Amino acid sequence: MADRKIVDAKNTFCPGPLMELIANMKQAEVGDELAVLSTDEGSANDIPEWINKMGHEVIESSEDSGVWSIVVKKTK
Amino acid sequence: MKILIVGGGMGGTILANNLARKMRNELKSGKASITMLSASDKHMYQPGLLYVAVGKMNPSEMYRDQVSLLEPSIEFKVDPVTEFNLDDNNVRAKSGTTYNYDIIVIATGSCTHAEGTPGLAEYAEQFYTEADAVKMYKKLEAFEGGKVVVAVGVPHKCPMAPLEITFMLVDYFKQRGIWDKVQLHYTYPIGRTHSLEPVAKWATPEFERLGITYETLFNMKEVNENVVMSEEGTEAEYDLLITVPAHKGMQVIEDAGLGAGGFIPTDRKRLNMEGRDNVYVLGDTTNLPISKAGSTAHFEAEALAENIASMMTIGTATRDYDGKVFCFIEAGDGKATYAMFNYQNPPDPKAPTAGIHMFKTAYNKMYWASARGLL
């Protein structure tokens, strides 16, 4: 199974969940999975938007008690 | 108790001074000692670089002797750490000396990593060192018009810097009388013009009012002589490229295996290195998902000083760091605003005013009182 790193960006506003994901993606290897945890409702849209534009893959997206979990895979 | 502080930037300096005052009796009686190891005998006011880059501050104004900022009870040595031996509670420094400790605080900061983007260091102007800021200013002075592109790497120190340099460039070109010959184009890594949504909601109409074009979801991939290409597959041609490059933690941190990219995994409230109860981390050196900014290091240092002092006196920590950050935002045209937030409360920046710009200008001098832990 691929490594799955948790990017815990709950309750943070700057630089924010997407910027944290971008920074972590730069350190990740192709095939790695990253799970971004965010309390920003906008993450459910802006993270998939960037992932799709980059050609990476959204594995799953869910919400529980105000925490969004978006799992993505680095594909290139 | 031996307290060792590695790094003489804002976080390390405020921590050392606050601790020295809170533990005055323990230091006097010899029950405790504070030693700071730094790579330099000078302390730089890093936000001054932004002003140096546009000719608004002389580089000499950015420096003080580090020892002049520290309480006399603090032992200060210019002896950068080369090895961290956390299992043995000691570090080895450049001089060959081994320093033992009971508590260590690592505050070594971050540095630019333009080399991580092919062509960026060669073709772009940046302003995160004195030499780079002066070079950028000379480049601006020689510029007579054309397309200026601002491009931003991730992660970067000072989240307001991309906007501030953009608005300050507008002022600079207006003052030189060549604004009508300049096309200013701003790019940003995420899907709005700033990571803080309220700031983006203010900045975007300002861009439109000033005629600044912008492209979001633009992460630099490669730079050639007149074009910067994004990971997202787009390009921006330029005559002058200004960058806020990606940053990384210091190499010694990465070499010691303390954290990927030189950023140490840190508890967001108690600021201890994960898995260690006598190793603390401040400022840019943490991997916390918060702003890499002087104010972050400042407020973290205040909380940590209280905790280390209370551990000494009552045997336990008393305070959590609440995620507080305060950032001025130079908005150009003699105005500024600010953003203040923590883990629970989002920022709510107000419209820029001349008064806040004047306060920021005053803070450029008052910083030295902050570093001494007095403000």
The pLDDT tens digits for B286-313 are 999 999 999 999 999 999 999 999 999 8
Q: What pairs with residue B51 in β-bridges?
A: none
CA–CA gap between residue B355 and residue B359 (Å, rounded):
6
Checking if the pLDDT of B187 tops 80, the result is: yes
Q: What is the pLDDT at residue A4?
A: 86
Q: Please name which of B284, B299, B286, B338 lies closest in space to residue B160, comparing C-alpha atoms.
A: B338
Contact A14 B290 (CB under 8 A): yes
Does residue A1 register a pLDDT over 70? Answer: no
Please tell me the predicted confidence (pLDDT) of residue B375. 82
Q: How does strand B75-78 pair with strand A33-38?
A: unpaired
Number of domains in chain A: 1
Summarised one tens digit per residue, pLDDT across range B117-141 is 999 999 999 999 999 999 999 999 9
A31 touches chain B (CB under 8 A): no
A39-67 pLDDT, tens digit each: 998 899 999 999 999 999 999 999 999 99
Average of per-residue pLDDT across B14-22: 97
Contact B155 A19 (CB under 8 A): yes
| Shortest CA gap A53–chain B (Å) | 6
CA angle B62, B65, B69 (to 5 degrees): 95
Would you say B181 and B199 are in contact if contact means Cβ atoms under 8 Å apart? no
Q: What mean pLDDT, rounded, does chain B reach?
A: 97
Tens-place pLDDT, residues B233-251? 999 999 999 999 999 999 9
Interchain contact, B217 vs A17, CB within 8 Å: no
Write down the ipTM of this complex: 0.93
Min Cα–Cα distance to chain A from B231, Å: 7
Q: How far is A5 from chain B (nearest CA, A)?
A: 12
Q: Report the pLDDT value the prediction gives residue B132, as an integer from 0 to 100.
A: 98
3-state secondary structure of B153: coil
A22 touches B at CB < 8 Å:
yes
Per-residue three-class SS string for chain A: CCCEEEEECCCCCCCCHHHHHHHHHHHCCCCCEEEEEECCCCHHHHHHHHHHHHCCEEEEEEEECCEEEEEEECCC
- The CATH number for A23's domain is 3.30.110.40
Q: Does A8 touch chain B (CB under 8 A)?
A: yes
Distance CA B303, CA A20 (A): 24
> Is A7 part of the contact surface with chain B (CB cutoff 8 Å)?
yes
What is the mean predicted confidence (pLDDT) over B26-45?
A: 97
Using pLDDT thresholds of 50, 70 and 90, give the confidence band for residue B61.
very high
Domains of chain B: 2-109+250-314 (3.50.50.60), 128-246 (3.50.50.60)
Which of B120, B217, B244, B345 is the best substitution to test chain A (most A C-beta atoms within 10 A)? B217
pLDDT number for residue B258: 98
Crossing angle of the two packed helices B294-314 and B10-22, in degrees rounded to 10: 30
Neighboring chain A residues of B343 at a CB cutoff of 8 Å: 11-12
Distance, in angstroms, between A61 CA and closest chain B CA? 19
Tell me the two tokens of residue B257. 């295996």
| CB-CB under 8 Å, A14 with B325 | yes
Query: What confidence score (pLDDT) does residue B294 get?
Result: 96
CB pair distance less than 8 Å for B261 and A27: yes
Judge: A26–B246 Cβ closer than 8 Å, yes or no.
yes
Domain that holds residue A59: 4-73
Label residues B68-78 b or e (16+ Cβ within 10 Å = b). Answer: ebbbebbebeb
Residues of A classed as catalytic = 14
CA B363 – CA B294 distance, rounded (Å) = 13
Q: If you average pLDDT over residues B18-31, what whole number do you get?
A: 96
Q: Which of B152, B195, B326 to mutate to test the interface with A (most CBs of A within 10 A)?
A: B195
Residue B93: other Cβ atoms inside 10 A: 18
The predicted pLDDT at position A2 comes to 56
Task: Please give the share of chain B, as a percent, with pLDDT higher than 70.
Answer: 100
- A19 neighbourhood in chain B, CB within 8 Å: 154-155, 189-190, 195
Cβ pair B347:A13 closer than 8 A = yes
Contact between A54 and A64 under an 8 Å Cβ cutoff? The reply is: no
Q: Is the pLDDT of residue B337 over 90?
A: yes
List Cβ neighbours of A68 (8 Å cut-off, separation of 6 or more): A36, A37, A38, A39, A40, A41, A43, A44, A61, A62
